A and B are shown apart, each in its own frame.
Chain A
Amino acid sequence: MSIDVKTAAHVAKLARIRVEDAELPALAQEFNAILGFIEQLNELDVEDVEPMVSVTPMRLKRREDVVTDGGMPEKILANAPEAREGFFAVPKVVE
């Protein structure tokens, strides 16, 4: 599996990370080095192996479906780069 510049650009887009066009060939090359390393996994026969879901066999605990926390909008917004009138503010989403 070899990653070309177009695939690298697509992955960057999916990850929502801006990568300048000039940097794409180097990025593709890095991906290929890492994926080349990962390719070793293909040496193994894993046909009848169940993929691991949880490293320690455990049943997830359940709790009452009730509100346990909340009612602190000021605290929640305190770290926002931009907040207005009790909301997180972002650039215009809808024209």
Chain B
Amino acid sequence: MSELTRLTIAEARDRLRKGDVTSVELTEACLGAIDRADALNAFVHKTPDIALERAKAADARIAAGDAPAMCGVPVGIKDLFCTEGVASQAGSKILQGFLPPYESTVTAQLRDAGAVMLGKLNMDEFAMGSSNETSVYGNAINPWRAKDSNADLTPGGSSGGSASAVAADLCLGATGTDTGGSIRQPAAFTGTVGLKPTYGRCSRWGIVAFASSLDQAGPMTKTVRDAAIMGAAMMGHDPKDSTSADLPVPDFEAMLTGDIRGKVIGIPKEYRMDGMPEEIETLWTRGREMLADVGAEIRDISLPHTKYALPAYYVVAPAEASSNLARYDGVRYGYRAKLDQGDGVTEMYEKTRAEGFGAEVKRRVMVGTYVLSAGFYDAYYNRARKVRALIKRDFETVFADGIDAILTPATPSAAFELGREMADPVEMYLNDVFTVTVNLAGLPGISVPAGLDKAGLPLGLQLIGRPWEEGELLNTAYALEKAAGFVAKPAEWW
């Protein structure tokens, strides 16, 4: 493995500016690492020509002395982001062959900041999944393996390729998206940092929509500092997304002092789940101690509607998905089924969608169709929207009582073996039990690697912040990261 690919974004930026290294050198090192890591199946569309062209341009810009922080930094892009002229399939067969004629706002901002796109990253189909096993490209593989085992583990999902690529040092950072935990759960499974910003921070324009009231893009990186740098480059107001917030994006990196003395950290009792592995419980306690040691005040809190978050999510998200995915009809882009003699337009829709969508996507589209259908709309969809309001109110109440951030486990387990949970959709859904509340309430959340379990696999802790206060959240995460001192890396087997 090349030392260059192991750099953090902050280190790369500093060395690029000093002239110690060029973006072309960094990019070539990453492209080499990607080519040697096909076994991880993280990068599913490689774009070496674009990468080298952008790296050269970045070097010229750095030499001219006027380069933003991300200039020359090689990154991977989740397949959910539309990238001009480059396959953007959302991990689905139904978008086979689709070449967007436009660039998503988030990737355009990264591009304009000089970041180098290395290629597109594997993911669960339409971001629906928690293990990257619903992808048309096949499974992405976690670079981590349990001690004395050769079994392939999931990198989590839906941003599984992003997490795998960052953890394996194939890129310096990656974009992810998070609808119910799809940035934070894979980050926790791979010993990386994943930030889901406040809903409205990153423009959704040009990101293939799953559940529009929950979807939010964010950075997946090796360190909290990198999440601050890359996150700031991805955020900002966009007139093309009507839910994008017209608020200034502060300099998050400048806010990383590590000083959280006097901050009040809430520990929600409802996140202590029955049957939660002892190691998760222990890690959570240690996280609490670490934050107390650096001067935070720890306070027990209650978020009484927590247990209803997943059921509410599995109404709201499929409902929005069934509406958003109606556009895949075989007419304007992507896949169209082969038709039989005499088939009309309805057969074309039905066959195209049957062949183009995978099992989990079909399941969710149909569940969504059902909860929105006449006679059930009130009983399911409206009830779920009311429960969502109660979940948000839980958070508002504790924030009003003086809580600055909330500490929880990121996931109910470490990375599991591929294939283990695919048989039971509801069991798979439980992966998001600690993360999904944050999407329903529109809050910022971050997963920070905090320790290893007995099998030597990474575990993460989640911090939840007040809306629009990513800077403060990142600073608390930075304090936790420093206290946890997580430095483990997966041993290269691929």
Contact = CB atoms under 8 A, between A and B. Distances in A.
A41 B373 contact: no
A91 B315 contact: no
Interface in B212-228: 213
Contacts of B383: 41-42, 46
A34 B348 contact: no
Given A30-B363, A37-B314, A51 B425 contact: no
Contact of B367 (A34, A58, A60): A34
Interface string A29-66: 01101110111111110100111111110101101000
Given A31-B367, A58-B243, A15 B386 contact: no
A11 B312 CA distance: 20
A18 B354 contact: yes
5 contacts: A37-B314, A44-B390, A46-B390, A79-B98, A82-B336
Interface in B406-438: 424-426, 429
B220 to A, nearest CB: 22
A15 B314 CA distance: 17
Dominant secondary structure of chain B at its interface with chain A: helix
A30 B359 CA distance: 11
Interface string B282-305: 000000000000000000000001
Nearest to B328: A16
B1 interface: no
A14 interface: yes
Nearest to B98: A79
A9 B292 CA distance: 56
Give the interface centre of A18, A19, A43 by most chain B CB atoms within 10 Å: A18
Contacts, number: 163
A8 B351 CA distance: 17
B489 to A, nearest CB: 37
Contacts of B322: 15
A52 B350 contact: no
A22 interface: no
Contacts of A58: 200, 243, 245
Contacts of B424: 33
Contacts of A7: 370
B399 interface: no
Interface of B: 97-99, 101, 198-200, 213, 239, 242-243, 245-246, 305, 307-308, 310-312, 314-315, 322, 326, 329-336, 339, 343-351, 353-354, 357, 362-363, 365-367, 369-371, 373, 380, 382-390, 392, 424-426, 429, 440-442, 467
Contact of A15 (B312, B330, B369): B369
A contact residues, range: 35 or more
Q: Which 5 residue pairs spanning A and B have beta carbons closest together?
A: A55-B442, A51-B385, A81-B336, A79-B333, A18-B354
B99 A51 contact: no
A40 B429 CA distance: 15
Given A16-B353, A52-B392, A58-B243, A91 B339 contact: yes
A19 B389 contact: no
B344 A15 contact: no
B307 A40 contact: yes
A17 B425 CA distance: 19
A66 B85 CA distance: 28
A17 B362 contact: yes
A58 B350 CA distance: 38
B369 A11 contact: yes
A5 interface: no
A30 B426 CA distance: 9
Give the interface centre of B246, B322, B366 by most chain A CB atoms within 10 Å: B366
Given A38-B315, A40-B311, A82-B336, A51 B353 contact: no
B305 A44 contact: yes
Interface string A65-82: 000000010011011111
A51 B380 CA distance: 12
Given A34-B425, A49-B387, 15 more contacts: A15-B366, A16-B349, A17-B365, A30-B425, A38-B311, A40-B307, A44-B387, A51-B388, A56-B199, A58-B243, A75-B101, A81-B333, A81-B335, A81-B336, A90-B331
A16 B440 CA distance: 28
